[in-house]
Structure 1
Amino acid sequence: MRCGWPRMRPSGPDRLSFQSMRSTLEQGMDLAAVGEFPLSEFEERVGRLRTIMRAREADVMLVDDIEPLAYFTGYERSVSFYRAAFIPLLGEPFMVLRSLDITPFRECAWFGDAVGYRDTEDAVAFVAAELKRRGYGAARVGVDFGSHALSVASFRKLEQLLPDARFVDMTAVPWEARLIKSELELAHIRRAAYIADTAMSEICGLAREGVSSRDMSAHAAGRYVQLGSSPGYVGPITYGKGWGFLHGFLSDTPMVSGDILHVELVPKFRGYSARLMRSVVIGGATDEQKVAAREIVRLQDEQFAAMRPGALASDVDAILRDGLLRAGLRDSYDNITGYTIGFYSQQPIRSSDFTRVFSPASKWKLESGMTFHMYTSAQGLAFSESVVVTPDGARRFSTLERRLFESGPAARHAAG
């Protein structure tokens, strides 16, 4: 995809200033080395979708959720105005969107057939008219009924305006098509993980009494952009005691000894994200915290080792969930222990992808090439990794040490 993604080969004075900011960690990573997606990759994605369309006898597929739209076309845009791509069984896809957005679409997408409507026109009515004009007025139209972009009102209007069409249930199909990543997608996630590692390492070194979570977030935001990520959400950076603060908010209040700084970084490289959690104990960790951190890491490592093709997701989940409960590190475990990661829009409707999750009810099986954000917390300490499933178990994208960090006189040293 070419949609304004960074070209990281600055020259002249810009290159000199850019190089001067680079840390030792940055020396071996060249953003330009991660190639853009070729036409053949988009054709392969569409081919897999068409296989399912044939099986369900759909003549044309409506794709309107932001992330699947980017996956199948190379273009992403918010749903401020309704827009959709249509992928027929035969022939080139076409796009219906605002006239204002046609040029950006053609700069990003792998195909150029796009029709635009004026802002004063009814977008859904225009879509229906375009389907009729192209001969799909009485077609079997595939629809993801779980789409975040297609409201109930919009769908009812389509039904009303296309009385001879039949809408085929393709719920979750566009999302599930994204589960297994290509080698180039993995390279994008790996690059995002490098950004997370660099920012996390620096934050763990900067955290101390007297600074705030806003200070830490500001540092991460700047480093994201310098390292090739698009500007956007940094991730939860909070602090407190206990564990209820993990999904809290930025604070301007200076940290004090005994606080636990929770850092979850979610950088994106050309839209592909890697996520990483670590904790920093301000002023030094207690013996209890050190023991808890070692046990959390041990159980999660055991979980990673079990993440092989064919493994049942609920079994993988139980390793960590049951282990922490048996160890007395948690009284209850209400949340999931992992979820799908991949491409995230710059304008997301949802900030996480729960196409696949790890819970006691997860009766699906892992496949090689699936990618997940596996996370856990106990005693106010949080650890997470972005991983890819391989025949040898889950492989981490991050290279950062899996340990508890401390600030203060003993800062930069492992706490367990």
Structure 2
Amino acid sequence: MGRHPYFTHTEFEVRLARLKARMAAAQVDVALFDEIEAMTWISGFGSSANRWRCVAIPMSAKPFFLIRALDASVCRERSWIEDVPTYRDWEDPMPVLARTLAARGLASARIGLDFESYGMSVRRFAAMKTALPDATFIDIGAVIAELRLIKSPAEIELLRRAARIADQALLNAAEVCRPGGTQREAAKVAQMTFVEMGGDPYRPGPITAGRGWDFLHGHLGDEPLAKGDVVHIELTPRIHGYSSRVMRCVVLGEPEPERLRAAAILAELQDRQIATMKPGTRATDVDAILRDGVIAAGLRSTYDNITAYTLGLYGDAGPRTSDFTRIFHPGAEWELEAGMVFHVYASAGGAALSESVLVTENGPELLTGLPRGLLVNA
């Protein structure tokens, strides 16, 4: 049996029990998971989708991890799942899946799938149905994403550590944002800080320079920075895949009065927004504080993006850069619960800032802790 470098076997037993309760409610005999975040959360290991792979969790029989032969050894080292059937790179994995399920008496099972999984193409699903003609396929939705919303104490500790890395890396990156410097240098410094502080060697996050405000998700450039530039830095460090995030703008030179005003308004509105993040609060009410406040202050004519989204585990080879299992927007009628963690962010009027926030039984806990406003390099 493999051993995870951070989580205990008991942690995975609790996760498995929670998952099986959901499976029982959905009346499925076995569930298959092929998104890297879902596989990693339930098994302790995930790999890229260069070749299809999945974790199978039966209600009663032995679980297994179907994977290409090249990745089987590292899978066994990391995962608590002992049975790892394999196939060669040029082979079709579906017959192996069918044989493994049949050996467990599950050839005609009710099989639970997430019909919105990014790992399940139309062609792959057709091949699965062909390989398992007697099975019935049930859409159980993004069940593991839902289970991941409430973080365990061990997960929260990783997110706290990631937040400390985010704060320090942003300060270090901001320091090199000077006239004549480059965005690339800031990215290098941020990534070096990640690794030096024990984080995963992963890309730093969006770093881009501009002179308006609508450039938050621009591209890393090589042009020398100049006085008057604003460098948007949003850092996304990870530890064992768990990411906290922080966002600030670095102004090169004296900030314009309009930008200073915008930053002050955003900070005040976001402080109010975060203060309401308590168990039982509707997400739409939290969202409205910032959204309506920004428009009322004349900083934006419309606010077409969300104001917060879920934080937690991110796969190192997944297509999603953010987890939108829960998002703050005008129609978000769901309620906050203790153990949820969010990236709360705001941008308008040439300023941008964000925090990582844990919802506790006693209210919000800021995981990140930088000064709330513009960073200025005069």
Q: TM-score band (shorter)?
A: over 0.9
Q: Is the 8 A contact 2:207 2:219 kept in 1?
A: yes
Tell me the residue number matched to 2:218.
Answer: 248
Question: Relative to structure 1, is the Cα distance of residues 43 and 51 closer, same or farther in structure 2, using a 3 angstrom cutoff?
Answer: same
Tell me the residue number matched to 1:336.
Answer: 306
Tell me the residue number matched to 1:150.
Answer: 120
1:177 pairs with one of 138, 141, 147: 147
SS class of match (2:356): strand
Map 1:171-210 → 2, pairs under 5 A: 171-210=141-180
Aligned-pair CA distance for 1:79: 0.9
Deviations 1:195-243 (CA, angstroms, capped at 9, x unpaired): 1111111222232111111111111111111111122211011111111
Tell me the residue number matched to 1:107.
Answer: 77
Deviations 1:106-130 (CA, angstroms, capped at 9, x unpaired): 1100121111111221012321232
Report the Cα distance in structure 1 between the residues aligned to 2:169 and 2:210, rounded to whole angstroms: 21
1:280 pairs with one of 232, 250, 257: 250
Q: Once structures 1 and 2 are overlaid, which stretch shifts more, 167-176 or 387-396?
A: 387-396
- Over aligned residues, Cα RMSD in angstroms? 1.3
Report the Cα distance in structure 1 between the residues aligned to 2:366 and 2:375, rounded to whole angstroms: 19
Counterpart residue type for residue 154 of structure 1: R
- Does 1:92 find its partner at 2:62? yes
Tell me the residue number matched to 2:366.
Answer: 396
Q: Is the 8 A contact 2:65 2:81 kept in 1?
A: no
- Does 1:322 find its partner at 2:286? no
Report the Cα distance in structure 2 between the residues aligned to 1:76 and 1:102, rounded to whole angstroms: 11
Map 1:208-227 → 2, pairs under 5 A: 208-227=178-197
Q: Is the 8 A contact 1:208 1:283 kept in 2?
A: no
Tell me the residue number matched to 2:135.
Answer: 165
SS class of match (2:173): helix
TM-score (norm 2): 0.97
Give the aligned length.
377
Tell me the residue number matched to 1:302.
Answer: 272
Q: Is the 8 A contact 2:23 2:59 kept in 1?
A: yes
- Does 1:138 find its partner at 2:138? no
SS class of match (1:289): helix
Tell me the residue number matched to 1:82.
Answer: 52
SS class of match (1:114): coil
Q: Once structures 1 and 2 are overlaid, which stretch shifts more, 249-258 or 72-81?
A: 249-258
Counterpart residue type for residue 248 of structure 1: G
SS class of match (1:130): helix
Deviations 1:166-195 (CA, angstroms, capped at 9, x unpaired): 112111112111100001100001111111
Deviations 1:361-382 (CA, angstroms, capped at 9, x unpaired): 2121111100111111011211
Q: Is the 8 A contact 1:260 1:281 kept in 2?
A: yes
Counterpart residue type for residue 401 of structure 1: P
Tell me the residue number matched to 2:97.
Answer: 127
Report the Cα distance in structure 2 between the residues aligned to 1:288 and 1:99, rounded to whole angstroms: 59
Q: Is the 8 A contact 2:176 2:185 kept in 1?
A: no
SS class of match (2:219): coil
Question: Relative to structure 1, is the Cα distance of residues 297 and 2 closer, same or farther in structure 2, using a 3 angstrom cutoff?
Answer: farther
Tell me the residue number matched to 1:12.
Answer: none
Structure 1 residue runs of 5 or longer lacking an equivalent are: 6-35, 409-416
Counterpart residue type for residue 326 of structure 1: A
SS class of match (2:226): coil
Tell me the residue number matched to 1:363.
Answer: 333
Tell me the residue number matched to 1:291.
Answer: 261
Q: Is the 8 A contact 1:304 1:393 kept in 2?
A: no
Counterpart residue type for residue 205 of structure 1: E
Aligned-pair CA distance for 1:2: 5.7
- Does 1:260 find its partner at 2:230? yes
SS class of match (1:42): helix
Aligned-pair CA distance for 1:336: 0.5
Report the Cα distance in structure 2 between the residues aligned to 1:69 and 1:381, rounded to whole angstroms: 38
Counterpart residue type for residue 207 of structure 2: I
Report the Cα distance in structure 2 between the residues aligned to 1:134 and 1:153, rounded to whole angstroms: 26
TM-score (norm 1): 0.88
Report the Cα distance in structure 2 between the residues aligned to 1:212 and 1:169, rounded to whole angstroms: 48
Q: Is the 8 A contact 1:144 1:169 kept in 2?
A: yes
Tell me the residue number matched to 2:345.
Answer: 375
Q: Is the 8 A contact 2:112 2:139 kept in 1?
A: yes
2:281 pairs with one of 270, 295, 311: 311
Aligned-pair CA distance for 1:91: 4.1
Runs of 4+ in 1 over 6 A off after TM superposition: none
Map 1:39-78 → 2, pairs under 5 A: 39-78=9-48
Report the Cα distance in structure 2 between the residues aligned to 1:205 and 1:122, rounded to whole angstroms: 52
Deviations 1:313-360 (CA, angstroms, capped at 9, x unpaired): 111111100010001111111100011110111112211111111111
